[in-house]
Amino acid sequence: MVRTFAQVNEKIREGKAVVFTAEEAAKLVSDEGVLAATEKIDVVTTGTFGPMCSSGAVLNFGHSEPPIRMGKIFLNEVECYGGLAAVDTYIGATQPSEDQGMQYGGAHVIEDLISGRPVMLRAQSYGTDCYPRKSIETVITLEGLNQAYLFNPRNAYQNYAAAATTGDRTLHTYMGTLLPNLGNVTYTTSGVLSPLLKDPELRTIGIGTRIFLGGAQGYVAFEGTQATFNHQILENGDDWYAGVPLCVIGDMKKMSPRYIRGAVFDGYGTSMYVGIGIPIPVLDEDLMARLAVTDERLYTRIFDFDVPSRSRPALRVVSYAELRSGEIELSGKKTKTAPLSSFSMAREIALLLKEQVQKGEFLLSEPVEFFEKGKRFKPLDITSVKEG
């Protein structure tokens, strides 16, 4: 059986589309088989809600009287980028504030704006004939901005690695607090609900894909930064995929603070929790089989953060079923596991997206272009600069 995006969208418009979450689809395949599930299901919804540091927002403030060409820009004392003409800026989620340090950052400013809270704008300029004003201090709100859109260069990692430390001291990292001597393992992928693990070959996801982003409809703008396409066959014959993130964009004015949250990682800094969901059309049996893979057959690697290197050693391969059990065996000892992402929120997003598709409120968009395959990550090598 073969379907097209157009056929699926027609059923959505007519209110006849059969939509399952990835969890529900996996159960149906287990009960009735791939062929029966393919014939029955039109769309499978996915979800993830976790820390996505490579995030931020583009904002346009409008012009003051007299006008100013903003150079140094601060929102609630979080510095923003001032090199985007006169009154545009980009605020990064991980930028710490000048007065609170890593306890408050760009992610919190974005959450404050989406929540409708006022934010203090402070900016300076050297002044020009066309932009004579040299400083400004005022209060802004999301409603008062001309444009405010989330623009996240690297979100929704296909399959993020887990973390632990074999060292004898506690580490404070972007993977949370790691306890010494393999005291814990942290992980952040939503497994059976993870969007890019459900369509690991990216047959339906590319530039222009419509997604659930922060409570609103957004889009995949491009491949995510650091994109690589890693696929291996494990010793047990199962597939392992990793490496692909998405660059995403969406209108902040339509988003909800339930699905965009600022966060602080103790000793590391700020990050932003982002809710993303992708509806995947069931095009054929092969895709259905991949959509139905459960946590028992989805895997990640645990890396040792005691090694301060970009090439940390892998301690073992582990399934998401093991990680979600709360305890695994690692180097001969029982080790507690803890998610940094929220599976309950991922499930909520998948269910909400299912409801929107069923009601005809969320149509699928076929990519205008697919990502280039075969890319490999290029490291930054340190080289000397010779004078003259």
| Per-residue pLDDT reduced to its tens digit, 63-111 | 999 999 999 999 999 999 999 999 999 999 999 999 999 999 999 999 9
The pLDDT score that the predictor gives to residue 374 is 79
pLDDT score, position 283: 98
Whether 370 is covered by a domain: the verdict is no
202 and 350 in a single domain? The answer is: yes
* 202 contacts 196 by C-beta, under 8 angstroms: yes
Q: How many domains does the chain divide into?
A: 2
Residue 242 and residue 104 in one domain: no
pLDDT of residue 386: 66
Element of type H or E holding 286 = helix 285-291
In a shared domain, residues 91 and 214: no
Residue 311 and residue 341 in one domain: yes
One domain, residues 221 and 257 = yes
pLDDT of the residue at 17: 98
- Cβ-proximal residues to 380 (8 Å cutoff; 6+ apart), any chain: none
**Residue 209 maps to a domain:** yes
For residues 37 and 162, membership in a common domain is answered with yes
Is there a domain that residue 284 lies in?
yes
Residues 277 and 194 in one domain: yes
Same domain, 103 and 186: no
**Token match 């991980």: residue?**
94
- Does 112 lie in the same domain as 139? yes
Say if 82 falls within a structural domain.
yes
Bridge partners of residue 270, in order along the sequence = 264
- The answer to whether the CB of 207 falls within 8 A of the CB of 221 is yes
206 and 289 co-located in one domain: yes
Q: How far is CA 73 from the centre of its chain?
A: 26
Residue 376 lies in a domain: no
Residues taking part in catalysis: 130
The verdict on residue 385 lying in a domain is no
Beta-carbon count within 10 A of 375 CB: 15
**b/e map of 17-34 (b: 16 or more CB within 10 Å)?**
bebbbbbbbbebbeeeeb
Q: Are residues 73 and 192 in the same domain?
A: no
Q: Which residues constitute the domain of residue 343?
A: 5-52+151-358
CA dist., res. 271 & res. 273, Å (int): 7
Q: Residue 379 falls within a domain, yes or no?
A: no
pLDDT of residue 318: 98
Residue spans of the chain under pLDDT 50: 388
381 domain-assigned:
no
Predicted local confidence at residue 384, as pLDDT: 79
Looking at the structure, tell me whether residues 66 and 24 fall in a common domain. Answer: no
